[in-house]
Structure 1
Amino acid sequence: MSRPQEPHRPFFPFGNPFRMISPKGSQLSPLLLSLLNKFEGTLAERLRKLMPKDKDDVLTFSWMKLATKSLCETHNDIKTLITDLELPVCDWDEKWIDLYLDVSVKLLDICIAFSSELSRLNQGHLLLQYFLHDLDSNSSEQFVRARSSLDSWRQHIIAKNPRVQNCWPILNSLEESLNLPKVKNSAKGKVLMRAMYGVKVETIFVCRVFAAAFSGSSKNLLNLNVPTTLPWAQVFSDLQSALNGEIRSTFSSGSFTVLKELDAVDVSVKKLEHMIQDGVSATEVEVFKSSVTDLRSRAEKHSRGLDLLANEVDVFFQIVLTGRDALLSNLRAGFPNSDPKLGYNVEGQVVR
């Protein structure tokens, strides 16, 4: 839909999640109340499942995969809720449409950034394979080449990804919009507002955790404050405290990563690094072989985790993209004379 550029506006400016539904406004029917309770109850249970069993579960690729899957389910739930509320696009306020498209394009940007980092980490796995190959060689220059391969791996793995760094301004803009203006006198609008607030909080939280992990720093890892009146508020607060606290503690201890599988690889690499500095003596041969086997096992676990997480991020990307495309399709069908300018091209760049 072609419209002049407007200044930045809040995420969904049709309600304030800090306010309970007031008797002075539109009353919720039993059906609307049931829909809202179901959505928020499911969200609370979903957040509860993300609570790590212990600190060793923060941040494993399996937890990150579970968190991404949770986002996929929550975003699918909001689509279902919109359908159940019987809010067709033709009834949407124009600014709702603009904001939905704006937010979706930001989420696509974040997905692209995370995918690029997972791809970069996967390239690091290939460099590690060169290191392992050099260690298996019987050449007299075996350890010379191994040290060179190891140096290439380490330089690659500690490098910063500018795409991940660019996620912070996007996340900040979404977080700043959490304080929303007063809702219109619409019962369905209030239900959608409350649900969308929950979607946004979970999305910002998970994406901030991922961005901190991928950037190698917790300086931009902020705590979100949510109204205590929301049924999922306590479980979210507990989850946020557990994750953010462990991430900050890990970085403050001097670790270069909070990614558990990558840290395990680094531990194995350091053991071998000490052994190959001056060569391996006859009495160290078996220990050396065992250390190589251990590194190979940890490297494979790291690679499998990367692949599974990358697939889940792609699923989330597709959910956001298909929702966006469906809205654009509905706009074209409902407004045949309109010319939506927002879209996505296959080269991987979001078009605004």
Structure 2
Amino acid sequence: MRNQGGFSSIRAVLHRHFSFHRHGNVHPCQSSALQEFETRLTERLEELKLSGESKGFLSLDLLLHAMSVILATHSNVERLIPESQLSLSQQVDNSWVDEYFDDSAKLLDVCNVLKEGITEVENYQMLVQLALHNLESSIESGNDGRYVRAKNALTEFEEAMKKKEAMLEKEAESNQDVPKSKLEKCSSMLRTMGEKLLSPKGPEAVKANGFLNAVYGFKVTAIFLCGLVVTALACKQRRSSTTVLVAKQYKWSEALISLQLRVKEVTDEMENGSIAQLEELHNVDASVRGLHEFLNGHLTDNNFLITQEEIAEMKVMLEELRKHSSDLGIGLVPLEIQVNELFRMLISSRLALLDTISNSKTCGPYLMLSYENVYRSSVHA
């Protein structure tokens, strides 16, 4: 959870501006505030696309950049609240409240799946680190037993990757329902969310004085970019990454549509032989395969027969694997921190809105629905 001060601040703002207004006036600064939100989101999406072109759309650097866009956009939506005067009166359609709780609950589930996906990659990383440690020690000591332990760790890594590949092939070939991985289920859920997401129209958008348009912008951005992270962490999927049907009237629409098309091109063109989609994991996988083959060619009956020239060759392979493994490890920790921060942000905003609704005169069914959703999210945390 976020610190109490942060939650209290959001709660106070929401109390002030989401409360019951029978005769609320349009804030004169709202138009410029919303324009600034749309401009900043446009710039972030354009920068993200440029970053993808230079660093790779399925690299950890790009995923970290994508998560920072989600977090910054959520923060900008929160800052728009003081400029809004939303009514919760019975005379106005409040379906957006239900939609917000439902979509944010699903995004909380996405965060949990992403954390599990990151943990899975970290487990692969541990096997590689174990192999590197044993190989480096064996070169110094000449201990053949360490070569065997290194080979076993690399074998375990390869078997884990092949298991994923076999599961995907089984899903693709079978006409029957086959259990899917959590990442695959998560990808399907995000795809469905993107297909069903609707832009605020008519009285709803006017009533909110543009605030719901910003909420829509955040949800579109979060659904697509979380889908990109899911795609990168999963092994090669049968379908391309999540796409969102984007309303075209917003300043940021063109930037997001262009980014989606580019990501789809990249994922569709990935080489067929690749198991891992995350660039750094793919590089580790390729290095592991080469080193594993080298060890198999020299390890006989637990005796490692190798010349000095071959030791020099193996050192080069070790250095390559060490570099790729380091690139993978460096990005995983900050990515997990960002996912946890998104989870905390979503919980904080849900509780703040719930607190406001519970104190309004028209809470009724929304209060019960909200308590149920918040409870479900807390159980999954």
Q: TM-score range by the shorter chain?
A: 0.7 to 0.9
Among 139, 160, 175, the residue aligned to 1:156 = 160
2:32 corresponds to which letter in structure 1? S
Give the TM-score of the pair, scaled to structure 1.
Answer: 0.81
What are the equivalent positions in structure 2 for 1:110-189 lying under 5 Å apart? 110-135=110-135, 136-137=137-138, 138-160=142-164, 162-179=181-198, 182-184=201-203, 187-189=206-208
CA-CA distance at 1:175 after TM superposition: 1.6
1:327 aligns with 2:326: no
> How far apart, in 2, do the equivalents of 1:256 and 1:263 lie?
7
2:85 corresponds in structure 1 to 86
How big is each residue's C-alpha offset from its partner over 1:194-240, in whole Å with a ceiling of 9 and x where there is no partner?
Answer: 32332222112112212222222341425444344422222222222
Instruction: Report percent identity of matched pairs.
Output: 26
Question: Residue type matched to 1:104 in 2?
Answer: S
Question: Residues 90 and 133 of structure 1: is their aligned pair in 2 closer, same or farther, counting only changes over 3 Å?
Answer: farther
**Aligned-partner SS, 2:144:** coil
Matched, 1:59 2:63: no
Shift in alpha-carbon separation, 1:217–1:290, aligned structure 2, 3 A: closer
Q: Does 1:341 align with 2:372?
A: yes
Higher relative contact order (CA 8 A, sep 6+): 1
- Pair 1:238-2:258 in alignment: yes
Tell me the distance in 1 between the aligned counterparts of 2:206 and 2:43. 25
Provide the C-alpha distance between the structure 1 equivalents of 2:113 and 2:181, rounded to a whole number of angstroms.
9
Cα distance in 2 for residues equivalent to 1:110 and 1:158:
25
The alignment covers a number of residue pairs equal to 323
Could you tell which deviates more after superposition, 317-326 or 297-306? 297-306
Aligned residue identity for 1:78: V
Find the counterpart in structure 2 of residue 201 from structure 1.
220
- Which runs of 5 or more residues in structure 1 are unaligned? 1-27
CA pair 75-331 structure 1, distance change in 2 beyond 3 A: same
> How far apart in 1 are the matches of 2:99 and 2:355?
16
Cα distance, 1:348 vs structure 2: 5.3
Q: Which structure 2 residues correspond to residues 157-306 of structure 1 after superposition, within 5 A?
A: 157-160=161-164, 162-179=181-198, 182-184=201-203, 187-189=206-208, 191-218=210-237, 219-250=239-270, 252-279=271-298, 280-306=306-332
List per-residue Cα deviations over 1:159-210 (Å, max 9, x = no partner): 5582212213421331232345853276243623432332222112112212
Secondary structure at 1:46 match in 2: helix
CA distance in structure 2 between the aligned counterparts of 1:172 and 1:307, rounded to whole angstroms? 27
**Aligned mates of 1:341, 1:223 — CA distance in 2:** 29
Instruction: Name the SS for the 2:218 alignment partner.
Output: helix
Query: RMSD over aligned Cα, in angstroms?
Result: 2.9
Q: Is the 8 A contact 2:184 2:234 kept in 1?
A: yes
Task: Provide the rounded CA distance (Å) in 2 between the counterparts of 1:69 and 1:237.
Answer: 19
**3-state SS, counterpart of residue 98 of structure 1:** helix
SS at match of 2:274: coil
Name the CA shift for 1:106/1:309 in 2 (closer, same or farther; >3 Å).
Answer: same
**Structure with higher helix content:** 2
